[in-house]
Structure 1
Amino acid sequence: MTQAPTPTADTVRRLVRSLLKEGAAGATGAGPDVRPVTDSGGAATWWVGTRHVLRLAPDREAAVRQRRELRLRDLVRPHLSVAVPSSVAHGEWAPGLTFTLDTRMPGGSAREHDVSAVGEADLAGLLSGLREVPVRQAETLGVPRSAARSLESLRRAAARAAQRLAAADEFDAGLMQQLAQPAAVQLAAQRGTAVLVHHGLTGDHLVVGADGRVRGVLGWADTVVGDPAEDIAGLALAVGSPAAVRAATLAGYGARPCLRGLWLARCDSVVRLGEHLAGRSDEPLPLLRTHLRHAWEAILLERVTELREEGADGTDGTDDDML
């Protein structure tokens, strides 16, 4: 198989020149101002002036996902109260390798700006909007189904990792006792609850204004039809467990999916930090520690002790909980 070319500033500049008129996107006499977005994509993602961002698929698998993403963004846009990226041009930058030139959204990331109470309502609109997207239409576009993860299996992996983190003075392993085996079983995903799941709600993918409002959501390439608790978990890692659970509750999710998302995030944060310390992951250590801190922030639901039976869709409200 022919190796894909490595995009350079000259490659990007020539491509953008063919797409935008002279003087657009911060162009100068030497061509448009382009620079890689090293924090969230390296050589595959480039700022183009102050108004656009160019994303280049580095291989054919990524190209398939990018083509699907462009169609999916059009499908979800009418259902969401937050912005979704818009492509002003798309095509191939090399044989079989696609690109999209998107309008840049104003604002920073959730790493740069805290989400306000009104921003939590924006996140609630995102979660409820995703639930409204017709699953059949998404699957017609090629969005895959993803089976719900076993929380019990994840709990066991996290318990082992917690011991290693405790030995490194990174974590109190006793906290894992809050998720006993019966609770993990009770928080198993419910049948018939699959919805469209963004599956990548990281801090980098949440566009947040200086006022704390969530202005848009990036990164739709990994979207699946599956467990809505995965997006609650992603938000817990990105903005903190209390904000994530409040947003999910505002979106109509009951205690079971909220707690499932919380514990997916907590177990993931422990496992990923353990993998880093064992030398099996190159994720940035400060980010992993932030995720651990966010995931283990206490929430109100943990103060009650009984979980009422919810409806099959897992979205009915409840006054009690199991933890």
Structure 2
Amino acid sequence: MTQAATPTADTVRRVVRSLLQDSPLHDSPLPDPPRPDGGGLRIAPVAEGGEHSTWFVGARHVLRLAPDREASRRQRRELRLRELVRPHIGVAVPVSVAHGEWASGLTYTLDTLIPGGSGEQRDVSAVGEADLAGLLSGLREVPGPQAETLGVPRATPRSLETLRTAAERAAERLAEADEFDPVRLKQLTAGGVVQLAAQPGTAFLVHHDLKGEHLVVSGDGRVRGVLDWTDAAVGDPTEDIAGLAVAVGAPAAVRAATLAGYGARPCLRGLWLARCDTLTRLADRLGDGHHDDSAVPLLRAQLAHAWEAILLERLTDEAW
């Protein structure tokens, strides 16, 4: 795979200059209008950006530059997919006002900025949970075959037994570091794994990366938008329930999924996907010697979110 140099502020200014020549971006937070070289526009890196180099451009746009050809292919697909999902999900997705190549074969998209903060820093309110329910139910309405014609891949459901085995090893490592009590994982029994296997015929379009940084949350806890659709797939919808459990906490995720029409089994499957994943991710990170890594506090917070007790667990001693 061809790997380009990491985009810099100068790269962004060059792209912005080319865009200003065609259609000036009159959204500068500064009192003076943007200069033809883009110097009057705020250009600043976004801390959260995943596999894309992401930059604020002015007050109302975000520039995302794909770092390699595979990411470029996924970004091109995302532009088409966002138009497909927009009418269905009840929350905003970014609009691309310009797109092209920032280097040979490497793409960019200049997107509208959805007002709000990251779901990593803001709590979701009860009304925000209803927004998430609309997202989950809306994704079921997106025609899967049409998404596949855009190049969205079909994903095979993950084995919960395989995940549980990996999580058991991770829990033991975390216990040695005084990070987790492995007894808690015994709630997921062998019988529960069988009961919570993915059901055939339930594949829908799945965002597949519903972590907090991809949720735009307003000051009153409403979910205003969902970002970064590059990992979308047609597959197991409980993956998005799992993502929400990590992002906003297990109780809120299960309430949203229930409002969206999901029953106890898919809710619990999503919950245990999240719990196994968070154990493994934190153990792997600590095992690599990254105890002081800035990612560790986030991984700890995600584990705590996924392991919050849901109402069913509070009301019954039944194990899964």
Cα 1:190/1:23, change in 2 over 3 Å? closer
Distance 1:2 1:128, change over 3 A: closer
Q: Which secondary structure state, in structure 1, belongs to the residue aligned with residue 27 of structure 2?
A: helix
1:235 corresponding residue in structure 2: 244
Shift of 1:141: 0.3
1:29-44 alignment runs, 5 A limit: 29=35, 30-41=39-50, 44=53
Offset, 1:6: 3.0
Alignment counterpart, residue 179 of structure 1, candidates 160, 178, 188: 188
- Are residues 1:106 and 2:115 paired? yes
Q: State whether residues 203 and 238 of structure 1, in contact with CA within 8 Å, keep that contact through their aligned partners in structure 2.
A: yes
Provide closer, same or farther for how the CA distance between residues 286 and 88 of structure 1 changes in structure 2, counting only shifts above 3 A: same
Distance 1:53 1:160 in 2: 41
Q: 1:250: Cα distance to partner?
A: 0.2
What's the CA shift for 1:148? Answer: 0.4
Q: What is the identity, as a one-letter code, of the residue corresponding to 1:48?
A: V
Say whether 1:127 aligns with 2:136: yes
Residue type at the aligned position of 2:110:
L
Counterpart in the other structure of 1:17: 17
Deviation at 1:37, TM superposition (A): 1.1
- Which letter does structure 1 place at the counterpart of 2:201? G
Maintained 8 Å contact 2:188/2:319: no
Aligned-partner Cα distance in 2 for 1:2–1:177: 45
Percent of pairs with identical residues = 70
Consecutive unaligned residues in structure 1, runs of 5 or more: 307-320
User: Cα 1:119–1:99, aligned 2, differ >3 Å: closer, same or farther?
Assistant: same
C-alpha deviation, 1:255, in angstroms: 0.5
Q: Summarize the Cα distance change of 1:168–1:3 in structure 2 as closer, same or farther, 3 Å threshold.
A: closer
Q: What TM-score, normalized by structure 1, do the two folds share?
A: 0.91
In the alignment, the residues of structure 1 paired with residue 312 and residue 211 of structure 2 have an alpha-carbon distance, to the nearest angstrom, of 23
Q: Measure the CA separation in 1 of the matches of 2:312 and 2:267.
A: 9
**Mapped pair 1:94 → 2:103:** yes
Q: Which of 83, 86, 89 is the matching residue for 1:77?
A: 86
What pairs up with 1:151-166 in 2 under 5 angstroms?
A: 151-166=160-175
In the aligned structure 2, how far is the partner of 1:98 from the partner of 1:144? Answer: 20
Map residues 269-284 of structure 1 onto 2, 5 A cutoff: 269-279=278-288, 284=295
What is the DSSP-based 3-state SS (H/G/I as helix, E as strand, rest coil) of the residue aligned with 2:85? helix
Residues in 1 aligned to 2:282 and 2:137: alpha-carbon distance in whole angstroms: 31
Partner of 2:62: 53
Gaps of 5+ in 2: none
2:310 is matched with: 299
Which of the numbers 297, 301, 316 marks the counterpart of 1:286? 297
Q: Which one is further off, 153-162 or 37-46? A: 37-46
1:171-195 Cα offsets, whole Å, 9 max, x none, are 0110011001111111000000000
The alignment partner of 1:114 has SS state of coil
Distance 2:58 2:314 in 1: 50
Separation in 2, partners of 1:299, 1:90 = 43
User: Residue 38 of structure 1 aligns to which amino acid in structure 2?
Assistant: A
Superposed CA deviations along residues 246-287 of structure 1, whole A, max 9, x for unmatched, are 000000000110000000001111111110111087770001
Please state if 1:138 is matched with 2:147.
Answer: yes
TM-score under structure 2 length normalisation: 0.92
RMSD over equivalenced CA pairs, Å: 1.9
Q: Is residue 51–residue 71 contact of structure 2 (8 Å, CA) maintained in 1?
A: no
Q: 1:75-109, CA deviations, whole angstroms, 9 ceiling, x for partnerless residues?
A: 00011110011000011111111110001000001
Aligned position for 1:258: 267
> Number of paired residues?
309
Amino acid at match of 1:289: R
Pick which of 178-187 and 33-42 moved more: 33-42
Q: Distance in 2 between matches of 1:96 and 1:280?
A: 36
Moved more, 208-217 or 91-100: 91-100
Alignment partner, residue 117 of structure 1: 126
Is the Cα contact below 8 Å between 1:241 and 1:297 reproduced in 2? Answer: yes
| 2:233 is the counterpart of 1:224 | yes
**2:240 and 2:227 mapped to 1: Cα distance?**
14
Shift in CA distance, 43/117, structure 1 to aligned 2, threshold 3 Å: closer
